[in-house]
Structure formats: C-alpha cells, structure tokens
Amino acid sequence: MSVKIGVAPGLWNWTDGGSSFFHFVEECERLGWDSLWLTDRLVSEHRVLEPVTAMAAIAARTQTLKFGASVLIPSLRNPAVLAKELATVDFLAGGRLLPAVGLGSEDPREYQAAGVEKRSRAARTDEAIGLLRRLWTENHVTHNGRFFTLSNVTIEPKPLFRPALPIWVGGRTEHAQRRVARLGDGWLASAVTPQEAASGVESIRRYLEEEGRHIEEDHYGVILGAYLADSRERAMDTVNAHTTRLRPDAPLDSYTLAGTSEDIHHMIQQYRTAGISKFVLRLACPEEEGLEQLTRLAEAVAVPVNTGAYG
C-alpha cells in the first residue's frame, strides 16, 4: 500500500494574518509533507479560515503540495456551486485537490446560519456527493432530488483528475462507514483508535461487497492529533491542553500520536496493521510552537514514511 502522511494546523488564530498562514503553507511543501488539510467551521470562536477559499490560496503559493479539508461539510453549501469551486481549484492547482466530506460538527448554529436543518444533514450530504460526482463527469446534468434541482447544468472547467475527483468520506459511526461503501472513494476517520480503525476497515469492506462496489486498498485514512517531545508524558500534557474536542468514550492517548519519534512510529505501525495507509497529523500545540512541530514531525516521521525510508 502507498503510505503517506499529511498535516493539519491546530485551531490557531494566525496572529500575523496571511503572512503566518502562507509561511506555514510554504514550509509544508519545503519540508516534504504529502498534503495539507484545513478545518471546515462556519461558526467558531477561533479564526478558522474558509477552506475552499484558503485552498485556492494554497494552490497559488505551492507547486507540489496536495491539499484538502478534513472534512468539508457539503450540507452547508449548494452542491452545484461547490462542484464549480472545487473543480476550479483543482484545475488551477494542476490536479492537487483531495476532497473529503462529512456531516460536520454538532453545533446547531452552523446549520441555522447556513439556512438548513441539522436533521437533514445526512440526506443532504448523500445527495450532494452524487451531484458532485455527476457534475465533474457529465455535461447537461438534470436532477430532481429532495433538496436540489438542476436542469441541463454543465460546469467547466472539469477537475483534472479523471474520471472524477475521488471523494473520501469522514466519520467513525456505522452510518458513516455505510456511506463510504455506498457513495465514497475512501474513508478518512477522525480520532479513532487502532482497534476502531481495524473494525471500520473490516466493516466497510463487508458493506462494499453488499453494495457491489470497490475502493482502493490504500484509500483508508485517519486524522489524529500529534505532538513530538522527549517523552510521551510531556507530549500528552501539551496535547491535553490543546485538544478542543475530547471523546467521552475513549482516552485521548488511545487515538493520539504523541511522544518520542519511536512512540509515534510504533503507533503508526498499529494503524498500518489495521489497514490504514493515509494519515493526517493535526498539530496539537499552541500556534507559537506550530512551525517547530511541523519541522520536527516532518524530519522524524512524515518524510521517512513519505519517501519509503521507514517501514
């Protein structure tokens, strides 16, 4: 399997504005990270950048770095507009966009602000995934659905990736895994333990058989908090202070890459054994430590794995 490691910044405020963001982006490419992932939050007390806009900016400042949102929330957007936006970004970036979608946060303000009912988000997401794929592969699309109606719609440019951009689906629930099997091209689950990852991969493969579908063996990924330090205890102290959403049903250290490089590689191997080959390391540290952690994790973890020098 092709094993790759990307990175996501923490929920930082980019205190120096665009200059700090672009410096981070350029360092991701220079250091050899495979990809850069952004959070999607319409409503937030943090300065969370709108991901489609920010991905367009990333495309303009880089040459090889891939990028995506972990994960994009289609239920907050019109799928025809979103299809056009993502296709345009991918076209301008030379085919470096990695779309991953999910249901979004539990905050009801998000859906109220977008003018949609939270209870409809799953059905909206399903319908949007189908429409995105059709709009990226077909011309003259007509659709009469529960939420969206299109009449003879063609978007150009199409994405460069053929036949269509692969849509990965987030979520760790059974419903999410069934959505992967029905509609997705890959799975990108956040904050799952190695045991949950193994169970999820097994379940998705079983659901795929039921659906008569197939996804690539290296299209199973995880998003995990990460912090490199001289001990696991010190690393977890920092992670605990900079993790905004804790699972009540699992200890934080069971789904976090924290500690020495040996600790982190050992845990990555557990996920690889579970069937995971794509990793997004979310930097669980204060903004002022971001570039240091980006560099240390690249040199000790990401680059050795991305180049095949480790494992």
The CA angle 239-43-111, to the nearest 5 degrees, is 120
Q: What is the pLDDT of residue 311?
A: 59
Domain ranges of the chain: 4-306
The pLDDT of residue 123: 98
Q: Residue 214 CA to chain centroid, in angstroms? A: 21
Tell me, which fold does domain 4-306 have in CATH? Answer: TIM Barrel (3.20.20)
Q: Which two tokens stand for residue 106?
A: 């539990």
Phi, psi of 144 (to 5 degrees): -125, 95
pLDDT at 128: 98
Q: Which of 3, 2, 1 is nearest to 279 (CA)?
A: 3
Are 101 and 74 in contact by the 8 Å Cβ rule? The answer is yes
Contact 271/2 with Cβ under 8 angstroms? no
User: Could you tell me the CA-to-CA distances from 214 to 4, 97, 133, 181 in Å, in that order?
Assistant: 21, 22, 16, 8
Per-residue pLDDT of the chain (311 residues; tens, 9 = 90+): 799 999 999 999 999 999 999 999 999 999 999 999 999 999 998 899 999 999 999 999 999 999 999 999 999 999 999 999 999 999 999 999 999 999 999 999 999 999 999 999 999 999 999 999 999 999 999 999 999 999 999 999 999 988 889 999 999 999 999 999 999 999 999 999 999 999 999 999 999 999 999 999 999 999 999 999 999 999 999 999 999 878 999 999 999 999 999 999 999 999 999 999 999 999 999 999 999 999 999 999 999 999 988 75
Nearest to 80 by CA among 28, 185, 152, 32: 152
Determine if the pTM surpasses 0.85: yes
Whole-number pLDDT of residue 270: 98
Q: Which helix (H) or strand (E) holds 281?
A: strand 278-283
Q: What is the model's pLDDT at position 308?
A: 87
